[in-house]
């Protein structure tokens, strides 16, 4: 992303590695999910009985969101006050009433506008687990949004500071389709970058060839000197010899 710091890029890479170590197999970074926006790291997977997050005796699909925060300002930007949450809940209630009267139309998704990303993820549930990944010591436990967990990144890697609370409602198929779109877009963008690099290399070679052509000086022949040279060649003993 434009204007992204090196620390934020590192946090996203470490978040994806952590998701893989935890058993998630469908993983991507910078996944766009409407109406939440872009989630820094997303992982989905189906976990065996007793090996899932809540130790359920059955196979359980899980969806995990990780938001990476490289600075305090970035963390506070996604916070929201209780008044905005109350307003969003009132709008949600109105959308539900309108949805009952108009079954053919879906309720509006504008009920999250103005909320920070932390509470928007709770108001529009799409994942079972929500984590914040930040450098060690930057965020305190009391500053976390409800149900969100905290991961700290330091010299020893990622450590779990606060375990996220399980949220039963999730949209695994929708999230996996968004991951597929993200990975497909990355492939196309990678091809564009590769083609661009080849074009730049060809253009550089053409520039070098043009410089060499411009450096060549044309050879001007003097007619008199050329006639004398040809006469000398005819008079030479080698030219008189019969083949």
- Residue pLDDT, tens place only, 96-130: 566 555 554 544 444 445 567 887 787 788 999 99
In a domain, 179, yes or no: yes
Q: Is 17 within a domain?
A: yes
Query: How many angstroms separate the CA atoms of 199 and 205, rounded?
Result: 10
Handedness of CA 54, 55, 59, 62 (dihedral sign): positive
| Angstrom distance (rounded) from CA 111 to CA 126 | 15
In a domain, 201, yes or no: no
pLDDT score at 114: 53
Cα end-to-end distance, the chain, whole Å: 78
| Total domain count, the chain | 1
- Note the pLDDT of residue 117: 80
Does residue 212 belong to any structural domain of this protein? Answer: no
Residue 4 in contact with residue 12, Cβ under 8 Å? Answer: no
Pair 40, 2: CB distance under 8 Å:
no
Q: What is the pLDDT of residue 111?
A: 47
Rounded-to-integer distance, Cα 70 and Cα 75, Å: 8
User: What is the Cα–Cα distance from 207 to 195, expressed in whole angstroms?
Assistant: 18
Residue 181 is part of which domain span? 6-79+116-189
The Cα-based distances of 175 to 43, 64, 65 in angstroms read 9, 10, 10
Instruction: Kindly report whether the peptide bond that precedes residue 144 is cis, defined as omega within 30 degrees of 0.
Output: no
Question: Burial code of 137-161, b = ≥16 C-beta within 10 A, e = fewer?
Answer: ebbeeeebbebbbbbbbeeeebeeb
Give pLDDT, residue 190.
77
pTM exceeds 0.85: no
Predicted confidence at residue 174, as pLDDT, reads 94
Q: Is residue 102 part of a domain?
A: no
Are the beta carbons of 148 and 9 closer than 8 angstroms?
no
128 part of a folded domain: yes
In a domain, 20, yes or no: yes
Neighbours of 232 (CB within 10 A): 10
- Residue spans of the chain under pLDDT 50: 83, 85-87, 104, 106-112, 239-243
d(CA 133, CA 7): 11
pLDDT at site 239 = 47
Is residue 145 assigned to a domain? yes
């Amino acid at each position: 992303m434009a204007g992204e710091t090196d620390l934020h890029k590192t946090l996203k890479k470490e978040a994806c590695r952590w998701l893989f170590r935890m058993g998630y197999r469908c993983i991507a970074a910078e996944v766009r999910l409407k109406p939440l926006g872009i989630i820094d790291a997303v992982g989905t997977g189906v976990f065996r009985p007793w090996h899932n997050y809540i130790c359920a005796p059955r196979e359980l699909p899980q969806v995990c969101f990780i938001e990476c925060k490289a600075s305090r300002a970035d963390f506070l930007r996604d916070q929201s006050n209780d008044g905005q949450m109350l307003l969003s809940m009132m709008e949600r209630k109105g959308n539900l009433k309108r949805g009952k009267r108009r079954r053919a139309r879906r309720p509006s998704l504008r009920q999250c506008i103005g909320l920070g990303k932390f509470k928007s993820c709770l108001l529009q549930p799409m994942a079972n687990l929500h984590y914040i990944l930040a450098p060690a010591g930057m965020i305190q436990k009391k500053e976390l949004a409800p149900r969100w967990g905290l991961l700290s990144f330091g010299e020893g890697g990622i450590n779990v500071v606060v375990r996220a609370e399980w949220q039963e409602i999730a949209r695994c198929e929708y999230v996996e389709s968004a991951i597929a779109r993200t990975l497909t877009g990355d492939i196309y963008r990678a091809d564009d970058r590769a083609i661009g690099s080849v074009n730049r290399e060809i253009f550089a070679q053409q520039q070098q060839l043009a410089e060499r052509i411009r450096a060549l000086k044309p050879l001007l022949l003097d007619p008199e000197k050329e006639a004398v040279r040809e006469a000398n060649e005819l008079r030479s003993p080698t030219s008189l010899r019969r083949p």
